[in-house]
Amino acid sequence: SAVISQKPSRDICQRGTSLTIQCQVDSQVTMMFWYRQQPGQSLTLIATANQGSEATYESGFVIDKFPISRPNLTFSTLTVSNMSPEDSSIYLCSVEGPGELFFGEGSRLTVL
Amino acid sequence: GENVEQHPSTLSVQEGDSAVIKCTYSDSASNYFPWYKQELGKRPQLIIDIRSNVGEKKDQRIAVTLNKTAKHFSLHITETQPEDSAVYFCAATKREYGNKLVFGAGTILRVKS
């Protein structure tokens, strides 16, 4: 199984600011996924991040709002830009392992 | 694209009873159907999955059934225990490299002791 570490685990942010979430995996993986889980809701894929190429965003998510970096095969960052209260969510990093998708513990953001 | 619907949204059962959660999917090409359990404040974790070449799979008190013709699959938990209380998500995808999982809306299961 893959061990995924996310930082920060939680944060309270002011409207209009940006926050970068880090995701570290204990093994090299080609693809990393960023999901959003709004309060009491399901998991929605934001984007897929491949090392060495631009991230692929899902419908409704744009690079200007959620820029992603993928500098190597074990690390990725997701930035939530110009935050509003509607961005208050849990953001989860995930990777594919043998036979399943593994998730990090998530980063719980509250935007005031 | 794939669309997954999940029912019920909440389910309360008495300890020892069975719980059943149902999901339907729209894309007949989907061939992989995992179930995730998410305890309060924790990450989602895979509890069981099934592939389209199998109709049923069981792991101790948990079983999943798949009806490809009707495009629906179900999670069955027998002899429920308080520690089964959590949110359960079904998902579907065509199991190819890089294909994303599409999740259902989730079911809050409460097991009353």
For the stretch B57-68, pLDDT in tens is: 999 999 999 999
Q: What is the pLDDT of residue B98?
A: 62
- Do the chains contact at B98 and A48, CB–CB below 8 Å? yes
What is the nearest CA distance from A26 to chain B, expressed in angstroms?
17
User: Mind telling me how many Å the CA of A48 is from chain B's nearest CA?
Assistant: 8
pLDDT digits (tens, 9 = 90+) for B11-56: 999 999 999 999 999 999 999 999 999 999 899 999 999 998 889 9
Lowest mean pLDDT among A67-71, A100-104, B16-20, B80-84: A100-104
Ramachandran angles phi, psi of A87, nearest 5°: -85, -5
Task: Give the per-residue pLDDT at B97.
Answer: 60
Judged against a pLDDT cut of 70, whether residue A85 lies above it is answered with yes
Average pLDDT, chain A: 93
- Is the CB of A43 less than 8 angstroms away from the CB of B89? yes
Burial B15-50 (b: 16+ CB within 10 A, else e): eeeebbbbbbbeeeebbbbbbbbbeeeebbebbbbb
Partners of B111 in the beta sheet?
B13
